[in-house]
């Protein structure tokens, strides 16, 4: 339950007209570069470490005293997640390159009208990042 009360006097707030206010709604597009080759080599390194640790665990006589009996299962799960993430990143990056190639003329017009990035800009920024 609530009540509405009208202030008879000044509510204690000072109002001064500073002019007209305009509200704007803008959208920003952020370009991010991820070096996927580095990720691929690092995941291969992780896979080699996992194989090495598994080999050491197999050579160890009593696995119950260590975490060897859980390591294989946990490491395989983590490595599978890493590989799926890599595939997803590669898939996303390849799709955006294909879209850019198909709609080059539209992106050029869009750049003129709205200031968005076209294929030439994408190539320029890719070269600058490398």
Measure the N-to-C terminal CA separation of the chain; round to a whole number of Å: 64
pLDDT above 90: percentage of residues in the chain: 3
pLDDT higher at 79 or 6: 79
Q: In the predicted model, is pLDDT for residue 79 greater than 60?
A: yes
CA distance linking residue 110 with residue 26, whole number of Å:
17
Q: How far apart are CA 51 and CA 20, in angstroms?
A: 68
What per-residue confidence (pLDDT) applies to 96? 56
Identify the pLDDT of residue 125.
73
- Asked if pLDDT for residue 33 goes beyond 60, the answer is yes
List Cα–Cα distances, 55 to 5, 49, 50, in angstroms: 78, 10, 9
Q: What is the pLDDT of residue 8?
A: 74
Per residue in 2-19, pLDDT tens? 888 877 776 677 778 888
Model pLDDT, residue 55: 86
How large is the average pLDDT for residues 84-112?
Answer: 66
Which has more pLDDT, 52 or 32?
Answer: 52
Q: Assess contact for 82 and 45: CB atoms under 8 A.
A: no
């Amino acid at each position: 339950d609530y009540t509405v009360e009208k202030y008879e006097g000044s509510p204690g707030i000072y109002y001064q007209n500073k002019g007209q206010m305009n509200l704007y709604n803008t959208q920003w597009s952020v370009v991010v570069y991820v070096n996927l080759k580095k990720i691929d080599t690092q995941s291969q390194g992780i896979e080699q470490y996992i194989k090495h640790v598994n080999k050491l665990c197999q050579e160890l006589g009593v696995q119950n005293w260590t975490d060897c009996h859980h390591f294989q299962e946990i490491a395989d799960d983590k490595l599978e997640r890493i590989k799926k993430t890599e595939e997803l990143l590669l898939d996303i990056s390849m799709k955006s390159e294909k879209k850019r190639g198909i709609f080059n003329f539209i992106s050029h017009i869009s750049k003129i009208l709205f200031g968005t990035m076209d294929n030439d800009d994408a190539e320029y920024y890719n070269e600058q990042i490398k």
